[in-house]
Amino acid sequence: MTTEVSAAELASRTILRKDLKADAAAFIDTKIPGSEGKINYPLIGPGVSENAEQVVPVTAPHGFNLGAAAMPAGVTNNLHLHFTAEVFVCMAGEWLFRWGVRGDDGEVTVRPGDVISIPTWVFRGFTSVGTDDAFLFTALGRDRSGGLIWAPSVLEKAARHGLHLTSDNRIVETAPGEYPAGVELKRPLTDEQLAALRTIGVEEMRTRLARPSDLRWSATPFLDSALETGGAELAAVVGYGITEDRDQHPRLADPHGFSLARLRAATGRGMSAHSVDESQVLIVTGGRWRITLNRENPISTELGPYDTLSIPVGAWRRFESIGEETGEMVVITGGEGRTRIEWDPAVVSLAEERGTVIDANGYAAEAAFLQA
């Protein structure tokens, strides 16, 4: 399937940092002392926001949701659990993550460059403990993530400050200490239900944290690795995703509903023209990139740090690092398993001339082996 993208659609799918729309009322804990000042940014899909008034820049289904959170130092996001995957990409600040029914099963500090995936059905919360510019991107599995469950103590504290959660995950506000009439509210989990939830140890959670030092970069992850228009390096973090290096393995391989990888390239290098039959989102984490879509009527946009771009299924794309420093970005691709890349025929031909082809299993291989 080939999709041609119009200039208007490209603009609608490009979310620049300067255009982010803050939502300070996304969740019921925003009036609990110590949690005021939480800022959420919806980017792609509704996520798990409990604010019926939120404005979502990109609403097309992707198979996953993307949002962001910014919190001044000392502000806390309270204990809750998700039914689908939740993966955090730390851009700035320091964040103390804790987990467990009471938040005391373990804790870990997440810093810029870190990616952490919290298991489903595990209570988690986090506090900004560094600088006031702390910022996280958050990817959630599935188009419909089912909302979330707050720890009973959070529901109780929120109610004392006049915020209540309905059974369909929407906030209702009353005077502090009062309860809304004629509305079915979310019921807190019982002690028996809380006791049935599994516990996660510190060692297991450490395997779900990918610090920069944990990454295993492939210098030849793609068919075009030796071409002038290629040369990007890839580190697989969640899922096998788009790698064509048969020896590359991700930090986390359990199903998330999407894959997440880090991509980097020197100035002038990147990924040659290609397409994938999955939704894909780019988050720039360093340098500057030029992203060009379409083969017949090419259109381009330039992205810097914190900027994101949603690329439609089947659209032709080319990534080029154009800044003075190495370009870096996070690539999130829909789907549970490997994503096969379709390369432009000219790229396939030139790569074969240089001695590289794609084998029957979808991995890059020396052409001489297949031509023997």
The conformation of residue 73, written as its DSSP 8-state character, comes to: T
pLDDT tens column, 15-41: 999 999 998 888 889 889 999 989 999
Integer Cα distance of 41 and 66 in angstroms: 9
The DSSP line for 95-159 is EEEEESTTS-SEEEEE-TT-EEEEPTT--EEEEE-S-TT-EEEEEEESS----EEE-HHHHHHHH
Q: Are residues 137 and 204 in the same domain?
A: yes
**Is residue 123 a contact partner of residue 99, using CB atoms and an 8 Å limit?**
yes
Residue ending a domain, choose from 183, 210, 237: 210
d(CA 110, CA 369): 44
Mean predicted confidence (pLDDT) in 171-190:
90
Q: Is the pLDDT of residue 1 over 70?
A: no
Domain extent at residue 335: 215-371
As a whole number of Å, the CA-based R_g of the chain is 22
Q: CATH no. for residue 184?
A: 2.60.120.10
Q: Are residues 135 and 169 in the same domain?
A: yes
Mean pLDDT estimate for the chain: 95
Indicate whether 261 and 316 sit together in one domain.
yes
Q: Is residue 65 part of a domain?
A: no
Pair (220, 317) in one structural domain: yes
Q: Are residues 169 and 260 in the same domain?
A: no
Same domain, yes or no: 142 and 267: no
pLDDT value of residue 229: 97
Specify whether 234 is located in the same domain as 361. Answer: yes
Share of the chain above pLDDT 90, in %: 86
User: Would residue 161 count as lying in a domain?
Assistant: yes
Q: Which of 280, 279, 275, 306 is nearest to 293 (CA)?
A: 275
The phi and psi torsions of 307 (rounded to 5 degrees) equal: -80, 150
Query: How many domains is the chain partitioned into structurally?
Result: 2
Shared domain check, 202 and 262: no
Rounded Cα distance between 186 and 165, Å, is 6
Please state, in angstroms and rounded to a whole number, the distance separating the CA atoms of residues 326 and 149.
41
Domain shared by 150 and 203, yes or no = yes
In a domain, 62, yes or no: no
Within a domain: 236: yes
Q: Which of 210, 225, 245 is the last residue of a domain?
A: 210
Residue 253 is assigned to a structural domain of this protein: yes
**Boundary (domain end) residue, out of 210, 237, 258:** 210
For residue 116, what pLDDT is reported?
A: 98
Mean pLDDT of the region 280-303: 97
Domain-located, residue 13: no
301 and 258 in a common domain: yes
Residue 51 clears pLDDT 90, i.e. is over it: no
**Tokens (6 digits) for 226:** 């030796």
Mean pLDDT of all residues in 119-140: 96
337: confidence class by pLDDT, cuts 50, 70, 90: confident
Contact predicate 242/282, CB 8 Å? no
Do 256 and 152 lie in one domain? The reply is no
pLDDT band at 372 (very low <50, low <70, confident <90, very high): low
Statement to judge: residues 148 and 227 lie in one domain:
no
For residue 121, is it within any domain?
yes
Q: For residue 119, what is the DSSP state?
A: P
User: Does some domain include residue 9?
Assistant: no
Q: Quick check: 113 pLDDT over 70?
A: yes
Q: Specify whether the CB–CB gap between 195 and 233 falls below 8 A.
A: no
